[in-house]
Amino acid sequence: MEELANLFHGFAVVLQPFNILVMVIGILLGVIIGVLPGLGGANGVAILLPLTFSMSPTSAIIMLSCIYWGALFGGAITSVLFNIPGEPWSVATTFDGYPMAQQGKAGEALTAAFTSSFVGALFAVIMITLVAPLVAKFALEFGPAEKFGVYFLAFCSFVGMSKEPPAKTVASMMIGFALGAVGLDQMTGQLRLTFGITELLIGFDFLIAVIGLFGIGEILLTMEEGLSFKGRSAMINLRVVIQTWKELPRYWMTSLRSCLIGCWMGVTPAGATPASFMSYGIAKRVSKRGHNFGNGEIEGVVAPETAAHAAGTSALLPMLALGVPGSPTAAVLLGGLLIWGLQPGPMLFIEQKDFVWGLIASMYLGNVVGLIIVLTCVPLFAAILRIPFSIIAPIILVLCAIGAYSVHNSTFDVVMMLVFGVAGYLLKKCNYPLAPLVLAIVLGDKAEESFRQSLLASQGSLSIFWSNGLVGTIMALGLIALFWPMIQAGWSMLMPVKKGTRQE
Amino acid sequence: MAKKSKGAAVGGPAHRSVEAGVAIFAVVLALITIGGALAVGIDWGAEGPKAGFFPFYVGLFILGSSLINLWHALRDNPSDKLFAEWIQLRQVMSVVIPTTIYVFLISWIGIYIASLLLIALFMRWLGKYGWGYVVAVAAGTPLVIFIVFEKWFLVPLPKGPLEEFLGL
Amino acid sequence: MKRSSKHFLLGAVAAISAATYFMPTPATAAWEPTRPVEFIIPAGTGGGADQMARTIQGIVTKHNLMKQPMVVINKSGGAGGEGFLDVKGSKGNPHKIIITLSNLFTTPMATGIPFNWKDLTPVAMLALDEFNLWVNTDKPFKTAKEFIDAAKTANGTFKMAGTGSKQEDQIITEAIQKATGAKFIYIPERGGGAVAVQLVGNHVESTVNNPIEAVAHWKGGKLRPLCFFDSKRVTYKEVVAEGKSWADIPTCKEQGLDIVYLMLRGIFMSPGATKEQVDFYVGLFRKVRDTPEWKKLMEDGAFNTTFMTGDAFTKWVAAEEKRHEELMKAAGFMAK
């Protein structure tokens, strides 16, 4: 129980009033970064860096880690309110969060999102505290084949569940893969599908596609329907928090499942994005209310948010122990370590005990402080929807443009954003699902890369994908997920159950 | 929602032709992808599958599924089903056109003035707000953005001659 | 009416700029940054260039070496091409500098993107980064010779992980194959950190990581450096791990593997920079080099601390480009 003693020591460090203040500043800044597209952790660090040199390394890293927590919380806000996910792992949150907001339940959706994030993060921190060494070891088991297995599983648990015609789902996903393949091929160092256009060298960034398809596309749909957001009646007092909390315990099963998926994905190199999609996909299949997912089901917010945060948090462990960040925001923390001359790696846990346990303690408290701050602001966020459309729409357009521009400092990307926006409108009207397209852009090239790395290692033999227990299990899970509808159908033939009626 | 416009008392493009158009566009995309893949090689080289291996098959999948979609689009949609009414499309274009101009203006006059114009246009034209209110929001937003992005978070955004003149 | 709104903005912007720019300008004529300086890393997070740039950011801020803040940004897209093209496109913007690795030469050669180092303004060579041959400590190899012999016996099944494709790591791998006849399967990863982790997890047999990228795992007892790809041993005598210092690690040449490869860690800035502007950054990095933090980084990462500026630096880079062209041609890595 040496860990617990260390942790309590860590708490003692973190609970100094100064450190709490530092936390609040970090969280607030992080939330702003999470909300405004185009701001990344690097900017937060740049602002806070001069400040942090007047404090101890522990206080400094607490501040920087709180930017991370704040940004994780903040990412859900725009997903729910405007259908614009700021980070890849908030995409799945839009599926039910945004319909909820449109039905006037923005407050509920936000409360559910924040609370689930907190639960996921808490679960992951507890896991880190108790089994840190085991987790780091598990992370090392992941070679290219295992990585591919995880991506395969993510795709399998997500496809085949959309209501849209299968040929449209396939077309949408494959277009996503094609867009994801544009640019430099990591494996051969060769350019492909760029046709000599220099701007395409770096490919299509997820953020630009998603801002266009989801954000701009949604504004166009709203315009077509007339000039108002439907969600004007959003409750804007704190009672909504209590009410939602009363409802949330019902979804404990989904939460627990999502926590486990999240933690598992977090310690693999795959990270939070597959976790959120996987968790949403599985919840949709397993839940009694799954048929209504996508129409504003609160469980559809709980599942991806819990998993994303469990993953985002548990991903910090391999980062600390191995020095490989799982996301750009996590990289900020890594940068923080380097700036203070702390070398991430296995020795960090031995040479810098105080620091590591202070950081872990700050994960507990940072999330509590973060939850309190964002929940207090729920009415404020929900009130944004009360702003008339003709004012908020151009402001969203401007912020989208800034977000698209600042991904690569390129006005070409702003043009692409608009193209994606019009495409999103047309595709949505023609009943093409957009989620598989986005999933393929985000994970497509990574999946391809690990597939090709695996085949390189095995010299072209596909048997590498069941060459050991771990990869074999993951691939089997993927196949089960893929054929789940058939399995389910077979099951219900054996055991007839009343099917829920479809709601429109 | 598209169902609402069934009955076609008011005109608009047929759903069928728009859907066919989208499918044809996807076919074009597929052909571009296949072409690009062939250019970098689709077989297996010394480093495993070549760069075009995956895009090639992805392209084939897009091609196949889009042809199915095209067939469905022409077969399944009643010819009187509307994509949207003209008046609705006009609403949509009233966002698309100013935004297109906005996007190109960014490179010329910077994002701040362009944003000011875009917001003012929306508020005045679509929202019919009084000029005082319009000016306050339209000028205030870029100002806040300037402070938050450039001054606070140190993100340089595109600027035009006016900012140059002011030495920002 | 539009005019009045413009005026409104004009006035407000002027007020803001007056408020935020009201800083005493130094009386001397020497140029100084007037805006935040963007420090571009044309590589991913956690790798050697990233670690160095972030350490510099910390040093500059901590010792207050510059009045304006320094913002570190990773632009790793297109094997670093994104970063290089960004700086190339910022002609006349003196607030943008970039740290380099060998992709300064290799990326344009392998992809044919319109970029050459001459498009940038050379500032200084900060150091040269070494390369080691790394193996997992689970494996019995203690010398490069033992390892190469085993690789030959394995008959082309040994895997070598490295950063990117057709870049420095693969160039070295290619050189090892040529020099010894042993064959490796080269597996590209996205960054130096990920490469080291693949070796720790025993998914590959070896890497040619920079010292700084794998030193943490050496200290943790997971990885072991077999030799330096340098012509003479480094001089860092401080014990790092296993009771050994960097100076105790032999050169690969001593072990019969005659390959020398060092990588530039240099600073370039946007095209069209004036002499004063270059001088400012040269001065800045001179100050950085004098700090204890920098010295610690150099020691941790067993860097070769050669410092060069001006013509000497430019000449060195030109020669290095030539060498890379030969290496890339020999390996068949040039874009068609």
> What is the Cα Rg of chain B in Å?
24
Tell me how far apart the alpha carbons of residues C276 and C278 are, in angstroms, rounded to a whole number.
5
Residue B38 has pLDDT above 80, yes or no: yes
pLDDT tier at A298, thresholds 50, 70, 90 = very high
Tokens in use for A156? 């399998």
Instruction: Tell me the mean pLDDT in the region A361-375.
Output: 90
A407 within 8 A of A207, measured Cβ to Cβ:
yes
Chain B residue with CA closest to A397: the answer is: B99
pLDDT for position A422: 96
pLDDT for position C22: 43
A431 — phi, psi (to 5°)?
Answer: 70, 30
Q: Which residues of chain B have a CB within 8 Å of the CB of C8? A: 135, 139
pLDDT tier at A501, thresholds 50, 70, 90 = very low
**Total domain count for chain A?**
1
Q: Which of B116, B147, B167 sits opposite C9 (nearest CB)?
A: B116
Tell me how far apart the alpha carbons of residues B126 and C132 are, in angstroms, rounded to a whole number.
65
Burial of residue A305 (CB within 10 Å: 0-12, 13-18, 19+) is buried
How far B48 CA sits from the closest chain C CA (Å)? 10
- Are C9 and B117 an interchain contact pair (Cβ–Cβ within 8 Å)? no
Q: Which residues of chain A have a CB within 8 Å of the CB of C194? A: 269, 324
Q: Which of C5, C8, C16 sits opposite B146 (nearest CB)?
A: C16
Q: Which amino acid would we find at residue A158?
A: F
Chain A residue with CA closest to C205: the answer is: A457
Tell me how far apart the alpha carbons of residues C213 and A322 are, in angstroms, rounded to a whole number.
10
A459 close contact with C: CB closer than 8 A: yes
> If you search the block for the tokens 């949330």, which residue do you land on?
A248
Q: For A72-84, give one letter per residue: b (16+ CB within 10 A) or e.
A: bbbbbbbbbbbbb
- Are B51 and A187 an interchain contact pair (Cβ–Cβ within 8 Å)? yes
pLDDT for position A227: 57
Q: From its phi and psi, is residue A55 left (phi > 0), alpha (psi between -120 and 50) or beta?
A: beta
How far A343 CA sits from the closest chain C CA (Å)? 7
Identify the DSSP state of C25: P
B48 close contact with C: CB closer than 8 A: no
Spatial CA neighbour of A45 closest among A59, A29, A31, A57: A29
CB atoms within 10 A of CB A55: 15
Helices (H), A230-376: 239-247, 252-267, 272-286, 299-314, 316-322, 328-339, 348-351, 353-376
- Are A346 and C221 an interchain contact pair (Cβ–Cβ within 8 Å)? yes
Tokens in use for C197? 């982790």
Of the residues B40, B137, B151, the best mutation for testing chain C's interface (the one with the most C CB atoms within 10 Å of its CB) is B151
B41 within 8 A of B51, measured Cβ to Cβ:
yes
Contacting partners of chain C (3+ CB pairs under 8 A): A, B
A14 within 8 A of A362, measured Cβ to Cβ:
yes
Chain A residue with CA closest to C103: the answer is: A189
A396 close contact with B: CB closer than 8 A: no
User: Considering only residues 406 to 435 of chain A, which have any Cβ-Cβ distance to chain C shorter than 8 Å?
Assistant: 408-409
Q: Pick C67 or A353 by higher pLDDT.
A: C67
Q: Pick B102 or A355 by higher pLDDT.
A: B102
Alpha carbon distances (Å) from A420 to A89, A413, A438 = 20, 10, 11
Q: Sheet containing C121-129: give its strands across.
A: C70-74, C37-41, C96-99, C263-269, C121-129, C308-309
- The reply to whether A503 falls in a domain is no
Spatial CA neighbour of C156 closest among A458, A284, A88: A458
pLDDT for position A86: 77
Q: Which residues of chain C have pLDDT under 70?
A: 1-29
Provide the number of CB pairs (under 8 Å) joining chain A to chain C: 163
Q: Which of A341, A346, A347 sits opposite C293 (nearest CB)?
A: A341
- Are B54 and A177 an interchain contact pair (Cβ–Cβ within 8 Å)? yes
- Are C35 and B156 an interchain contact pair (Cβ–Cβ within 8 Å)? yes
- The reply to whether A499 falls in a domain is no
pLDDT tens for B119-148 read 999 999 888 889 999 999 999 999 999 998
How far A187 CA sits from the closest chain C CA (Å)? 6
Q: Return the minimum-mean-pLDDT range out of A7-11, A144-148, A296-300, C108-112.
A: A7-11
Contacting partners of chain A (3+ CB pairs under 8 A): B, C
Beta strands C121-129; C308-309: pairing state: antiparallel
Q: Which of B112, B135, B162 sits opposite C5 (nearest CB)?
A: B135
User: Considering only residues 6 to 65 of chain B, which have any Cβ-Cβ distance to chain A shorter than 8 Å?
Assistant: 15, 18-19, 22, 26, 29-30, 32-33, 36-37, 39-40, 44-45, 47-52, 54-55, 58-59, 61-62, 65
Residue A345 has pLDDT above 50, yes or no: yes
User: Considering only residues 121 to 150 of chain B, which have any Cβ-Cβ distance to chain A shorter than 8 Å?
Assistant: 121-123, 126-127, 129, 137, 141-142, 145, 148-149
Spatial CA neighbour of A392 closest among B118, B96, B107, C10: B118
pLDDT tier at A370, thresholds 50, 70, 90 = very high
Beta strands C244-245; C132-136: pairing state: unpaired
Tokens in use for A433? 């699902």
Highest mean pLDDT (candidates A194-203, A379-388, A404-413, C209-218): C209-218
- The reply to whether A187 falls in a domain is yes
Q: Which domain holds residue A19?
A: 2-494
Identify the DSSP state of C251: B
pLDDT tens for A13-41 read 888 888 889 899 999 988 888 888 777 76
Provide the number of CB pairs (under 8 Å) joining chain B to chain C: 47
CB atoms within 10 A of CB B122: 26
pLDDT for position A500: 44
B109 CA to centre of own chain:
21
Q: Which residues of chain A have a CB within 8 Å of the CB of B32? A: 193
A342 within 8 A of C51, measured Cβ to Cβ:
no
- The reply to whether A247 falls in a domain is yes
Tokens in use for A147? 């990585």
Q: Where in chain C is the domain with CATH 3.40.190.10?
A: 132-248
Tell me how far apart the alpha carbons of residues A120 and A92 are, in angstroms, rounded to a whole number.
15
Chain A residue with CA closest to C203: the answer is: A143
- The reply to whether A501 falls in a domain is no
Spell out the residues 6+ positions from residue A87 whose beta carbon is closer than 8 angstroms to its own.
Answer: A34, A71, A75, A327, A329
- Average predicted confidence (pLDDT) for chain A: 85
Q: Which amino acid would we find at residue B60?
A: L
pLDDT for position B8: 43
Spatial CA neighbour of A56 closest among A270, A260, A380, A352: A352
Q: Which residues of chain B have a CB within 8 Å of the CB of A185? A: 40, 51
How far B72 CA sits from the closest chain A CA (Å)? 10
Q: Which residues of chain C have a CB within 8 Å of the CB of A187? A: 165, 188
pLDDT for position A197: 86
Chain B residue with CA closest to C35: the answer is: B154
- Are A460 and B47 an interchain contact pair (Cβ–Cβ within 8 Å)? no
pLDDT for position A233: 57
- Are C45 and A331 an interchain contact pair (Cβ–Cβ within 8 Å)? yes
pLDDT tens for A228-271 read 544 455 556 778 888 899 999 999 999 999 999 999 888 887 77
Q: Which of C55, C75, C165 sits opposite A189 (nearest CB)?
A: C165
- Are C113 and A191 an interchain contact pair (Cβ–Cβ within 8 Å)? yes
Mapped onto helix, strand or coil, the DSSP state of residue C35 is coil
How many residues can be counted in chain A?
Answer: 504
- High-pLDDT (> 90) share of chain B, %: 52
Q: Which of C8, C14, C17 sits opposite B139 (nearest CB)?
A: C8
pLDDT tens for A124-157 read 999 888 887 787 788 888 889 999 999 999 888 8
pLDDT for position A351: 81
Q: Return the minimum-mean-pLDDT range out of A198-202, A225-229, B158-162, C78-82.
A: A225-229
Q: Where in chain C is the domain with CATH 3.40.190.150?
A: 35-129+263-331
Of the residues B125, B155, B157, B159, the best mutation for testing chain A's interface (the one with the most A CB atoms within 10 Å of its CB) is B155
pLDDT tier at A162, thresholds 50, 70, 90 = low
ipTM of the complex: 0.91
pLDDT for position A350: 80
CB atoms within 10 A of CB C292: 10
A275 within 8 A of A262, measured Cβ to Cβ:
yes
Q: From its phi and psi, is residue C64 left (phi > 0), alpha (psi between -120 and 50) or beta?
A: left
> What is the Cα Rg of chain C in Å?
22
Helices (H), A141-295: 144-158, 166-181, 206-210, 217-225, 239-247, 252-267, 272-286
pLDDT for position B118: 95
Residue A196 has pLDDT above 50, yes or no: yes
pLDDT tens for B66-114 read 999 999 988 887 777 888 888 889 889 989 999 999 999 998 999 999 9
Chain C residue with CA closest to B162: the answer is: C10
A360 within 8 A of A128, measured Cβ to Cβ:
yes
Just give the CATH number of C132-248: 3.40.190.10
How far C154 CA sits from the closest chain B CA (Å)? 18
Just give the CATH number of C35-129+263-331: 3.40.190.150
